[in-house]
Structure 1
Amino acid sequence: MDYLREIEGKRLHDRNPRLHDRNPNMMMTKSSRCICIPGPIIIGAGPSGLAAAACLKEKGVPSIVLERSHCIASLWQLKTYDRLRLHLPKQFCELPLMPFPEGFQTYPTKQQFIQYLESYARKFDISPNFNQSVVCAEYDQVLGFWRVRTVGLKKEETEYVCRWLIVATGENAEAVVPNIEGMEEFGGPIMHTSLYRSGGVFRGKKVLVVGCGNSGMEVCLDLCNHNASPTLAVRDTVHVLPREMLGRSTFGLSMWLLKWLPMRLVDRFLLIVSRLVLGDTARYGLRRPQMGPLELKNLSGKTPVLDVGTLAKIKSGDIKVSPGIERLTRHTAEFVNGKTEKFDTIILATGYNSNVPSWLKEKEMFSVKDGLPKRPFPNGWKGESGLYAVGFTKRGLLGASMDAKRIAEDIEKSWKVEAKHISYISHPFSLQ
């Protein structure tokens, strides 16, 4: 690796000895350094980044992983609640080349999943460069290389130069905090679910949970189980499905049915069974979209809620459901239907979004609006000039694994050509 890096660095210098003078926006300070990487750079050490690194290693392609946090899977380790489990069965969530241990539950816990990821990193000898926040990544048209600038804990700057750049920061890089009128007047705690761990600290409190996705529904259940009084604010329509149907996981059953039936027929089947199992959710303030759950997921990426017990608490009245918030006043929420109610705390289950536009200086592959690849699945994994994306499919870990395999196969082809070229430069008479 060091030998290849030295050769690649020499080639870069020979092509342009004034590497850092090309772009004033990428100028380095005296205390900074430049590292030439012969293989790909992967930005993000979450499940997607680990999968990409493992698939590349299996192909014989070395890579480095840059991670802004101090650990792998920082979203899972630092920004998720204690009772979290994988929402899909483990066979749909394993990363390439390594299944979950047999002893793991069907729906692994947060702790089990983190354990799996740590074992995965050890197995494939993936050692990310931690505490490296990427502030700028830009393709140098003159050099034909990507230049990636990072800042460390002590504000030291490093510039990495590489041929291939893999964006693995994912769809959930930054918490989304909506601007609700009167937030500054509320007076009580307002927190995003990224800061929520357990309902124990809210015992006896009236808590308003904003957002009716999987996280919002599960946080309400957790609060209820810790003797808090949660209210779920629901502004949009939502599909709520049982986690299992006919003795099988709903997701697994859906994937099997899609092999034989068109999506709209599968959607109709899911809604009929859901009505039989869960009843009419609209009676409890959870109106369904007109479009079926799979079609809606396919077109917009909006994931249906898989019920893990929250709906029963809603039916019993232990969890209240209210419409969207109009405004906040002192410890009070006014809803769009004109009703008001006092609360001690507000928890924002309003999700996450991509942060790619804030640091990637490229406008062809990624949308500036939402930070996701412009081309829909399954064609969003590859861009131009050696740029790739993994974990942006809105299809969870299964989609990330598919991306990682495609990327590794694609880079392997170029890597073999490059390796021959480097070998020829180093030993010009060894090839006949």
Structure 2
Amino acid sequence: MDYLREVEGKRLHDHFEAKTANTTRRIWVPDPVIIGAGPSGLATAACLKERGVPSLILERASCIASLWQLKTYDRLRLHLPKQFCQLPLMSFPSYFPTYPTKQQFVAYLEAYARKFDLNPGFNETVVSTEFDSGCGFWRVKTVGLKMEETEYVCRWVVVATGENAEEVVPELEGMSNFVGPVVHTSSYKSGEAFRQKNVLVVGCGNSGMEVCLDLCNFDARPSLVVRDSLHVLPREMLGRSTFGLSMWLLKWFPMRLVDRFLLLVSRFMIGDTDELGLNRPNLGPLELKSVSGKTPVLDVGTLAKIRTGDIKVFPGIKRLTCRAVEFVDGRVEKFDAVILATGYRSNVPAWLKDTNLFSEKDGFPKNPFPEGWKGKHGLYSVGFTKRGLLGTSMDARRIAKDIEHQWKVEGKPFKLALVLLKVLESFKKKDRGTHKPDL
């Protein structure tokens, strides 16, 4: 038996030795590798640790939750009440407000990482992740700050890069001719830099609506491009959060009936949004979210500014000129700056060589929630449910439970194989000038 194990270890060693360049540092990881140190990656690592399973987190940025820390505007708050946004195994502090600020949420995530002793490997950009059928392991290749290459060989990979990995920047006709700044909301911090300026905000989701409100608070003159239909709901109804009320009603009534109720109360509270140029879709807000993933806008004061004319509403853009924008309805207006509130997308297809779990088209799991968390050969997905942090927490728990069983059953043989590989490397190192793998 020992001879057979040694032969198998040598086979794996020779297999990887033939495929790995001498300039690449190779690290054998007996535990799950989690790609991404945002809320999804942290939640999965914590759930694994609770079950006694260690993990390695790889993060391309220099901090946890880089989207929240580096690419969000100052006035941002959680759009949903804190009880729907907390990660598994740790609640928000009781003194936090119902809708925590960006700074409070980041502080919560940092405390979460400390509590579970999560120490990601920062500044490691994953450039390729591929299952090697020749040996049954995953090969995760990263590039560091100094362009050094590292290959992690592991049994399990958890993709936790999320739905918002890369900015979506539309190609607008004439954008290169526009002389003013054109920035994505990922670079927008506050309206301070836009005082007394005419600013066009492209995109009418929650971010676009809030940026317009923030610009008003800094005495800018914002306009909003609303190209498609959308649902705008009050953030709270009948003394409860609209989201919480919706979840409660769905326990007792069908979705379409709940949608009718939400729209009826919204009409009473905020009036007819069609009159403001904000046309509602044919599907109700919950049904539309279920079908397309499109989230309704929760109003925090923007509608009042639209009614008073402090925020103008325009349809789609036809083209940009040197200092102006022509819209599809023929109107032409001058602007000093353009802010693109056009959202984010998944970047998984750019580095994951797997077409079973994820779609190459949009980088999301092919199977809809709740079935999209598990693929083949030890591949997992977390943070792609289109259901916010509540969906993330559900998937993190599922993944941890599934890996725990395999780790206990398969972990010992895998660790033994790695030990054998290390021994073989040490014997060969004396005869050749190659690198030594780390364990």
Give the TM-score taking structure 2 as reference length. 0.92
**Equivalent residue for 1:28?**
21
> Structure 1 14/243 Cα, relative in aligned 2: closer, same or farther at 3 Å?
same
- In structure 1, distance between residues paired with 2:8 and 2:384: 32
Amino acid at match of 2:15: L
Q: 1:100 aligns with which of 83, 92, 113?
A: 92
Q: RMSD between aligned alpha carbons? A: 1.7
Amino acid at match of 1:127: N
Deviation (angstroms), 1:11: 9.1
Amino acid at match of 2:46: A
Q: What are the Cα deviations for residues 71-123 of structure 1, in whole angstroms up to 9, with x where unaligned?
A: 00000000000000000000000000000000100000000000000000000
Equivalent pair of 1:28/1:157 in contact (CA under 8 Å): no
**Equivalent residue for 1:332?**
324
Deviation (angstroms), 1:391: 0.1
Q: 1:260 aligns with which of 232, 237, 252?
A: 252
Equivalent pair of 1:146/1:164 in contact (CA under 8 Å): yes
Deviation (angstroms), 1:138: 0.1
Q: Secondary structure at the match of 2:89?
A: coil
**Equivalent residue for 1:86?**
78
> Structure 1 192/111 Cα, relative in aligned 2: closer, same or farther at 3 Å?
same
Q: Secondary structure at the match of 1:159?
A: strand
Q: 2:376 aligns with which of 379, 384, 390?
A: 384
Q: 1:218 aligns with which of 193, 201, 210?
A: 210
Deviation (angstroms), 1:10: 8.3
Q: 2:271 aligns with which of 273, 279, 283?
A: 279
> Structure 1 221/116 Cα, relative in aligned 2: closer, same or farther at 3 Å?
same
Q: Secondary structure at the match of 1:18?
A: helix
Q: Secondary structure at the match of 2:389?
A: helix
Amino acid at match of 2:134: V
Q: 1:19 aligns with which of 15, 25, 43?
A: 15
Deviation (angstroms), 1:17: 2.3
* Uncovered stretches (5+) of structure 1, i.e. residues with no partner: 1-8, 427-432
Equivalent pair of 2:8/2:417 in contact (CA under 8 Å): no
- In structure 2, distance between residues paired with 1:10 and 1:388: 30
* Uncovered stretches (5+) of structure 2, i.e. residues with no partner: 419-439
Residues 274-353 of structure 1 mapped to structure 2, 5 A cutoff: 274-353=266-345
> Structure 1 398/18 Cα, relative in aligned 2: closer, same or farther at 3 Å?
same
Q: 1:183 aligns with which of 171, 175, 194?
A: 175
**Equivalent residue for 1:240?**
232
- In structure 2, distance between residues paired with 1:155 and 1:33: 12
- In structure 1, distance between residues paired with 2:105 and 2:17: 45
Give the TM-score taking structure 1 as reference length. 0.94
Deviation (angstroms), 1:29: 4.0
Q: What are the Cα deviations for residues 324-363 of structure 1, in whole angstroms up to 9, with x where unaligned?
A: 1011111110001010000000000000000000000011
Equivalent pair of 1:28/1:159 in contact (CA under 8 Å): no
Q: 1:132 aligns with which of 124, 136, 141?
A: 124
Deviation (angstroms), 1:28: 2.7
> Structure 1 359/11 Cα, relative in aligned 2: closer, same or farther at 3 Å?
farther
**Equivalent residue for 1:158?**
150
Deviation (angstroms), 1:173: 0.1
Q: What are the Cα deviations for residues 246-267 of structure 1, in whole angstroms up to 9, with x where unaligned?
A: 0000000000000000000000
- In structure 1, distance between residues paired with 2:125 and 2:414: 31
Q: What are the Cα deviations for residues 263-310 of structure 1, in whole angstroms up to 9, with x where unaligned?
A: 000000000000000100010010000000000000100000000000
Deviation (angstroms), 1:364: 1.1
- Paired residues in the alignment total 415
Q: Does 1:228 align with 2:220?
A: yes
Greater Cα offset, 14-23 or 279-288: 14-23
Q: Does 1:364 align with 2:364?
A: no
Deviation (angstroms), 1:419: 3.7
Greater Cα offset, 63-72 or 13-22: 13-22
Amino acid at match of 1:15: R
Q: Does 1:121 align with 2:113?
A: yes
Amino acid at match of 2:48: L
**Equivalent residue for 1:3?**
none
- In structure 1, distance between residues paired with 2:238 and 2:282: 24
Deviation (angstroms), 1:182: 0.3
- In structure 1, distance between residues paired with 2:345 and 2:415: 43
Equivalent pair of 1:29/1:157 in contact (CA under 8 Å): no
> Structure 1 36/425 Cα, relative in aligned 2: closer, same or farther at 3 Å?
closer
Deviation (angstroms), 1:151: 0.1
- In structure 1, distance between residues paired with 2:6 and 2:178: 60
Equivalent pair of 1:13/1:19 in contact (CA under 8 Å): no
> Structure 1 166/202 Cα, relative in aligned 2: closer, same or farther at 3 Å?
same
Amino acid at match of 2:14: R
Q: Does 1:52 align with 2:48?
A: no
